[in-house]
Amino acid sequence: MDEKHIMAIEDAYLARVYQKFPVSIIRGKGAIVYDANGKKYIDCMSGYGVSLVGHCHPKIVEAIKRQAETLMTCHGSFYNDKRAELLEKLVKITPKELDKVFLCNSGAESVECALKIAVKYTGRSKIVSMIRGFHGKTLGALSATWNPKYKKSFASLIPKNFNFVPFGNLERAEEAIDDETAAVIVEPVQGEGGVHVPPPGYLKGLREICDRHDAVLIFDEVQTGFGRTGRMWALEHWNVSPDIMCIAKAMGGGFPIGATIAKAEVMNSLKIGEHSSTFGGNPLACAAASATIDVILGENLPERARRLGGYFKGLLEKMVDEFRILREARGLGLMLGLESRIFIYEVLMKALNKGLLLLYSGRNVIRFLPPLVIEESHLEAAANILSKIFAEEDKKLEHVSRKP
């Protein structure tokens, strides 16, 4: 099927809820993807951080093939070997107090479960979330998401018990969290909001405030988890452990799966039938996730993210020094943001034409979430492409500034 045909069919029949790039991606390997015309792209987007171990990693492909020939579905009302294998591996790599798992299919689902657990465990209903925070677009997750553009059409469905405070401001958090607070939900590093890293002591301070008020602390590691920031979990940068952790995206190596992991006493507040999922913990997804964990550990991808992220961030910082249209490079590991003084749509389109896939955070931040298996040469090529584009944009700015 040629590219124009693919696009025409999607435009005709797919719900128009995605900001589409004018390219059809049909094949991928590692950090490289190809469109329907055979054009090659360096993927610094990886499906919003999903392809952390690279596209079509052979060990994950083999695990999926093997399991597809054995058993593809098994409801949670039965026991299953692949589910047990994954649960054991997950508990070994997560903070030691987090030892009860609910398996689901996405990040938003993992957040939905976390919110229900917190309310059930505490008997309270007030939730504190963060300005610029993003947790998903299903109703509960949407309620905890800050950006008004996602919520304004659904205001009548959103409960009023969600309060938002500035990310990184402990004083404002102290004012908002009280003895009626069920939970505080926070991304250790904000992704959708612009790749913002918290100041030193912030997450530890939230932990102390929650402990003082017996509120549940939820870390949304959907985007930051599995080595993305240079540690297995972003929380390790600050040595702070939550009561509940939400994970997904990279978990299945490209296959849809998510999980909510909590302290046993917190998770056990849910009784039989109060929360479940038809597809959650199905053997195919569990086999993919189990293989993904093996790859992350076996190839030491968190350390690779730390090393390559430091290298690439250095290249971005040089651009900030060189080009007036750029403000700041920030982030941890291979979760990086480049903030500009202009709207970045044209930059993304020019990069696409030059064979580079980029992601945005709002209108003026480029977000980089490449596979952790990406090569240094790919990052250097990406930086060279961006440098040429920014040089052009800088000249435009100079031309405008000289106009009378």
Q: Using the Cα atoms of residue 108, residue 113, residue 118 and residue 124 in order, give the sign of their dihedral.
A: positive
In the three-class reduction of DSSP (H, G, I as helix; E, B as strand; rest coil), residue 146 is classed as coil
How far apart are the C-alpha atoms of 370 and 334, rounded to whole Å? 7
For 258, the token pair is: 């998510």
What are residue 98's DSSP bridge partners? 263
DSSP sequence for 326-381: EEEEEEETTEEEEEESS--HHHHHHHHHTTEE-EEETTTEEEE---TT--HHHHHH
Residue 321's CB: how many other CB atoms inside 10 A? 8
Q: What are phi and psi of 388, to 5 degrees?
A: -65, -40
At which residue do the structure tokens 């990184």 appear? 168
* List of residues 6+ apart from 333 with CB closer than 8 A: 227, 228, 229, 230, 231, 302, 305, 306, 309
Give CA–CA dist 127/132, Å, rounded: 15
Active site residues: 134, 220, 249
Please compute Rg for the chain using Cα positions.
21
Helix, strand, or coil here: 141?
A: helix
The DSSP bridge pattern shows strands 244-247 and 258-263 to be: antiparallel
Q: How many Cβ atoms sit within 10 Å of the Cβ of residue 59?
A: 15
